[in-house]
Amino acid sequence: MRVKPFKNEEFIDFTKEKNFKAQKDAIKKVREKLGRTYNLIIGGKEYQTEKTFNSYNPSDKDEVIAKFYKGTAELANKAIEEATLTFETWRFTEPKERAKILFKAAEITRKRRLEINAYLILEAGKNFAEADGDTAEAIDFLEFYGREMLRYSEKQPITPVKGEKNELIYIPLGVGIIIPPWNFPFAILVGMSSAAIVAGNTIVLKPSSDTPMMGQVFVEIMKEAGLPEGVLNFLPGSGGEVGDTLVGHPKSRFIAFTGSMEVGIHINELAAKVQPGQIWLKRVVAEMGGKDSIVVDKETDIDEAVAGVVSAAFGYQGQKCSACSRAIVDKKVYDKFVTKLKKEVDKIQVGPAEDNFKMGPVVSESAMKSIVEYIEIGKKEGRLLNGGNFAEGNGYYLQPTVFVDIDPMARISQEEIFGPVLAVIKAENFDHAIDIANNTIFGLTGAVYSKNRKKLDKAKKHLLIGNLYFNRKCTGALVGAHPFGGFNMSGTDSKAGGRDYLLLFLQAKLMSEKIKK
């Protein structure tokens, strides 16, 4: 099977009036479909339960996006059983056939792109560019992982031995549990799910309760692409009932999770306990949180550094695990940096995502409450430079908030906030800045702004960060170009969108045959 070399999907330019209008029209069309109720899907059959829950628009907290039936422990067990049965046929489906389904899904996603963007705008509170970046990344994952499966299905290099015929192949693991986050509710959901599926596994997908509609859209796409029933089972529900049941089931073989450190640790602990009848040690692929720093050296363009920090800190309301939450600045340029930073942050306007404001709402009331608590802590730990309060509107709006003169060990410097809050820290020199950047339990992304090559080389050696960028922002990883995953409490360094990612959903089998002379 021949396919063209992988190429990243181009982003839509919404500064062009034609594109902007097309996206606004797509939002109007999607709004006509809001409020529908969606069933659970297990083994290709639809299920309903006694309880439902709503998905809301964070830009307008009274607007219901969709209603979903709430999964139960009983249905979680049934989903595992159905996925186990389907695995016995799906695992023997030729890799090229599995890859074809991903390629077709990518084409369907392209055709529905503005519609998917609209759901991301309305359900996740993303502005147009952030929503489109999410959808484009999902397309990239489908295209990239399809090609990766073809590569892994080829003859693998192995050392020849005289008198033997040896062969190494990669086979799927089994039934996987996919638990995606709400902050990249389409891209990461699609990436984890499609990687597991194309590798020959069957999955139970439990979407985030904040953004379940994005899971529903993916289910529709994969069905249209020809995915057999039972390969993808869709089970929204609570983490305590549905999630724990799925993770702890003796027939679940692996768990792919993206979310908070606390939940990731819980999943890892639960998965590590061998249940009666379990015949394997479960594999956990976890991408958790970050406390990401941008180091600003005295030898750099301050305007560029400020622009990078502002974009990384407040893009999608700071709700990216890769978001810059700490700016560590050399004391010799600290005052200049702070002055310019305040001016740029003051320009940011907050409003409804569908009106394409630079900053929209945070995702939920609980998220907003947690962020506000940290803002109050920040007011005691440093000097408030920008924001620090709610923004107007019938949604979960917060002002972009900056605290300066923060101690490196302060709570807002150490704990993940996951919102539009930036801590600015003064460093004595470049070496001190590197030490501060390494002083958290996380190690996901980060950046260094410097014109000094020796300093950049030093940062390469000493910064323990999974994705380290130089003279650019620390967000915006591209599939294939920037394989994504971090160290320490940021997760298992899974490197999503990289050439070793599919290995996490495969296992190697060696076959050796003696050759008669």
Query: Looking at 270-364, which runs of residues are DSSP E strands?
Result: 283-287, 292-296, 324-330
Q: How far apart are CA 331 and CA 433, in angstroms?
A: 10
CA nearest 127: which of 324, 409, 305, 315?
315
Which among 44, 45, 37, 35 is positioned nearest to 70, based on CA atoms? 37
Kindly state the tokens that stand for 76.
């979680």
Residue 149 makes CB contacts below 8 A (sequence gap 6+) with 95, 98, 99, 102, 198, 199, 502
Are 169 and 511 contacting, i.e. CB atoms less than 8 angstroms apart?
yes
Question: Judging by DSSP bridges, how do beta strands 45-47 and 40-42 pair with one another?
Answer: antiparallel
Catalytic residue selected from 9, 321, 324, 381: 321
Paired strand residues for 172 = 506
- Among residues 9, 130, 287, 416, the one annotated as catalytic is 287
- Catalytic annotation on 365? no
Give CA–CA dist 230/235, Å, rounded.
12
Is residue 432 classed exposed, middle or buried when 0-12, 13-18 and 19+ CB atoms within 10 A define those classes? middle
| Secondary structure class of 145 (helix, strand, coil) | helix
Backbone angles phi, psi at 297, to 5 degrees: -80, 160
Distance CA 314, CA 310 (A): 6
Within 10 angstroms of residue 413's Cβ, the number of other Cβ atoms is 24
Instruction: Write the CA distances from 305 to 136, 294, 336, 340, integer angstroms.
Output: 27, 9, 11, 10
CB 117 within 8 A of CB 262: no
Whether residue 10 lies in the annotated active site: no
Q: What residues pair up with 287 in beta bridges, in sequence order?
A: 258, 491
Q: Which residues, in sequence order, are bridge partners of residue 234?
A: 41, 205
> Which DSSP category does 160 fall into?
-
* CA atoms within a 13 Å half-sphere pointing along the CA-CB vector of 242: 26
| Residue that has been written with the tokens 């990436």 in this structure | 191
Q: Hey, which residues does 255 pair with through a beta bridge?
A: 177, 284
Q: Which two tokens stand for residue 440?
A: 């958290």
Residue 191 token pair: 């990436």
Tell me how far apart the alpha carbons of residues 177 and 245 are, in angstroms, rounded to a whole number: 10
What positions carry a catalytic annotation?
Answer: 287, 321
